[in-house]
Every structure is written in structure tokens, then in C-alpha cells.
Amino acid sequence: MKCDITIVNRLKRTQGQVNGVLKLIDNQASCEDIVTQLKAIRSSVDRVIGLITTSNLVQKIEEINKVDLEGIDEALNLLIKSI
């Protein structure tokens, strides 16, 4: 699967958020601040999952000229699992 640069950028941003949480922990930040940042990370990862599954589905639909129904089923199953 080819990934759009926006997916890579989002993952790099998420990586930065994880590093930020580690710094919060090192600095003994409040649990509320840490949990808030972890929720933001979870949301970011969920967004990346949505982008990847959507991109995969679009790629399968673009290949429909080959009538790859099995591939479309796989893409739909991946989309359902991501929800």
C-alpha cells in the first residue's frame, strides 16, 4: 500500500506527542495533563487509521477495472475493523 505524505506527517506529529507525554512524566506533571495528552494521541492514531483504511478502499475501487471483488471485500473488512 502506498501512503500519502499526510499520513506520514500525522504519524510524526503523533510521535512528537508521545515524546511530550514522556517529558510530562519525567517532569512529574499532573495525571490530568498526562491523560489529556494521551487522549489526544489516541485521537490522532484513530485519525491515521481512518486515513489509511479510506486510502486503501479508494485504491481498491480504482482497481475495479480488474473486477477485484475480493480486494474490495478486504478493504471493507479493514474499514469495519478500524471503527
- Residues 9-30 pLDDT 10s: 999 999 999 999 999 999 999 9
Mean pLDDT of 27-39: 96
More confident site: 41 or 56: 41
pLDDT mean across residues, the chain: 85
Q: The dihedral of CA 69, 72, 76, 82: what is its sign? A: positive
Mean pLDDT of 45-67: 79
- Please state at what angle helix 31-62 crosses helix 69-82, rounded to 10 degrees: 170
Task: Please check the confidence at residue 78 and state whether its pLDDT lies above 80.
Answer: no
Q: How many domains does the chain fold into?
A: 1
CATH number, residue 74: 1.20.58.1000
pTM score of the predicted model = 0.70
Distance, in Å, from the CA atom of 53 to the CA atom of 74, rounded to the nearest integer, reads 10
Range of the domain at 63: 5-82
